[in-house]
């Protein structure tokens, strides 16, 4: 499958991770809670997904409300003031409103008056796409500092009577500050791969609410604003995507799988990562996973897991990090980072 591949030439500026942050809503929804809502069980969910609990946004807690504490944590970690930001890029499937962009609200609330602000929707691959946009702006000299956020309120578009989807998703936000650095060598985002197979777009979709099928009382009554998913086909797509991206990324950059210190994948399903480890092969302990505690937080899953990995001491300066995303569209994306 064709992909867009970027290999940064050495004379461009380096794009460095200057800080990370994350936020999870206070409410925990356990598998036991779901047992009281739908025909399922803790054992069934854990066996098929590895998920034990997920976080759920409070009533009135919007996508930007999740993003703001993650953004502030990332800025504090980077020792950077919001006024120094040149760009705010928000990856999300479900923003505060259709118009304007959620990034505009975040820009105002942070006080980042100089920053360009826009949203990006590549579903669960969204953070990788947004990271590529931020890094490209930095490497070209357009930005000096960029805030990249993944934030999702998945619980607002899940059908809580459908056990095939409601068990999977959670809410949360993660953020990273990218900064420009001069000179060759050192920390950098070394390469990206971005791709999409639009012919498979119906595998994960929300049918109503757009221009093809606008919202009406009838679409709302029929539940056509809930997310639907072909679980079997998505599982195969996810395993194939991770395995191929890992091997291609190593081949293009002249590194061995064992050179990668840590992989942070989209947290879609524990069984997906297990299957990937068997096929590649790569030890499971090279993957940072938090799906048991967070579920699938879509565009937020990679930055949340990355922030946790950093704070847990899983990355040292100079380590090679691989970020791996895949999701609705059907999209995929990877990033190779020298930490």
Confidence of residue 280 (pLDDT cuts 50, 70, 90): confident
Tell me the average pLDDT across 144-154. 97
pLDDT of amino acid 152: 98
Condensed to tens digits (0 to 9), the pLDDT of residues 237-273 reads 999 999 999 999 999 999 999 999 999 999 999 999 9
124 is catalytic: yes
- Which residue ranges make up each domain of the chain? 8-181, 188-338
240 is catalytic: no
pLDDT of amino acid 10: 47
pLDDT of amino acid 25: 98
Q: Could you tell me which of 237, 257, 239, 238 has the C-alpha nearest to residue 247?
A: 257
pLDDT of amino acid 173: 98
Condensed to tens digits (0 to 9), the pLDDT of residues 107-119 reads 999 999 999 999 9
Q: Is the pLDDT of residue 5 over 50?
A: no
Q: Is the pLDDT of residue 91 over 70?
A: yes
Global pTM value: 0.93
Q: Could you tell me which of 193, 210, 194 has the C-alpha nearest to residue 250?
A: 193
Tell me the average pLDDT across 29-47. 95
Residue with tokens 């703001």, as numbered in its chain: 68
* H-assigned helices in the chain: 31-35, 42-49, 63-77, 102-110, 126-140, 163-166, 217-221, 231-253, 270-279, 291-294, 301-311
8-181 and 188-338 share one fold:
yes
* Residue 241: count of CB within 10 angstroms of its CB: 27
Question: Residue 139: helix, strand or coil by DSSP?
Answer: helix
Angstrom distances, CA of residue 17 to CA of 30, 85, 147, 153, 267: 33, 14, 10, 25, 21
SS (H, E, C) 282-325: CCHHHECCCHHHHCECHHHHHHHHHHHHHHCCCCCCCCEEEEEE
Residue in 196, 266, 277, 322 annotated catalytic: 266
Convert 136-173 to b/e letters by CB count within 10 Å (16 or more is b): bbbbeeebebbbbbbbbbbbbbbeeeebebbbbbbbbb
Confidence of residue 7 (pLDDT cuts 50, 70, 90): very low
SS (H, E, C) 243-278: HHHHHHHHHHHCCCHHHEEEEEECCCCHHHHHHHHH
pLDDT of amino acid 119: 98
Fold of 8-181: Peroxisomal Thiolase; Chain A, domain 1 (3.40.47)
Residue in 31, 121, 154, 296 annotated catalytic: 296
Query: What is the rounded CA–CA span in Å between residue 12 and residue 135?
Result: 11
pLDDT of amino acid 2: 57
**227 phi/psi in degrees, rounded to 5:** -75, 135
Tell me the average pLDDT across 75-85. 97
Confidence of residue 1 (pLDDT cuts 50, 70, 90): low
Query: What is the rounded CA–CA span in Å between residue 109 and residue 257?
Result: 42
Residue in 124, 166, 243, 276 annotated catalytic: 124
Fold of 188-338: Peroxisomal Thiolase; Chain A, domain 1 (3.40.47)
Residue 98: exposure state from Cβ atoms within 10 A (0-12, 13-18, ≥19): exposed
Residue 124: exposure state from Cβ atoms within 10 A (0-12, 13-18, ≥19): buried
Do the Cβ atoms of 174 and 307 come closer than 8 Å? yes
Confidence of residue 233 (pLDDT cuts 50, 70, 90): very high
């Amino acid at each position: 499958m064709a992909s867009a591949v970027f290999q940064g030439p050495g004379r461009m500026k380096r794009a460095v991770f200057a800080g990370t942050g994350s936020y999870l809503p206070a409410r925990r929804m356990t598998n036991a809670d779901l047992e009281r809502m739908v025909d399922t069980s803790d054992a069934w969910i854990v066996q098929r997904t590895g998920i034990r609990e997920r976080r759920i946004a409070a009533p009135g807690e919007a996508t930007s409300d999740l993003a703001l504490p993650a953004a502030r944590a990332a800025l504090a970690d980077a020792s950077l003031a919001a006024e120094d930001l040149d760009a705010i890029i928000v990856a999300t499937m479900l923003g505060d409103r259709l118009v304007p962009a959620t990034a505009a609200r975040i820009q105002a609330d942070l006080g980042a008056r100089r920053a360009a602000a826009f949203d990006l929707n590549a579903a669960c691959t969204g953070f990788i796409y947004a990271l590529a946009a931020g890094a490209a702006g930095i490497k070209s000299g357009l930005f000096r500092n960029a805030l990249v956020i993944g934030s999702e309120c998945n619980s607002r578009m899940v059908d809580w009577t459908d056990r095939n989807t409601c068990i999977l998703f959670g809410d949360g936000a993660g953020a990273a500050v990218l900064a420009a650095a001069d000179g060759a060598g050192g920390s950098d985002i070394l390469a990206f791969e971005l791709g999409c197979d639009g012919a498979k777009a119906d595998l994960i979709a929300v049918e109503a609410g757009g221009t093809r099928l606008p919202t009406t009382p009838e679409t709302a009554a029929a539940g056509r604003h809930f997310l639907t998913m072909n679980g079997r086909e998505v599982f195969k797509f996810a395993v194939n995507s991770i395995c191929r991206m890992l091997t291609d990324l190593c081949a293009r950059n002249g590194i061995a799988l064992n050179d990668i210190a840590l992989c942070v994948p989209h947290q879609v399903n524990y069984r997906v990562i297990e299957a990937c480890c068997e096929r590649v092969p790569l030890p499971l302990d090279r993957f940072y996973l938090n799906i048991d505690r967070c579920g699938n937080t879509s565009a937020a899953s990679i930055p949340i897991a990355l922030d946790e990995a950093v704070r847990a001491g899983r990355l040292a300066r100079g380590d090679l990090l691989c970020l791996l995303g895949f999701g609705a569209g059907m999209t995929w994306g990877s990033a190779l980072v020298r930490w």
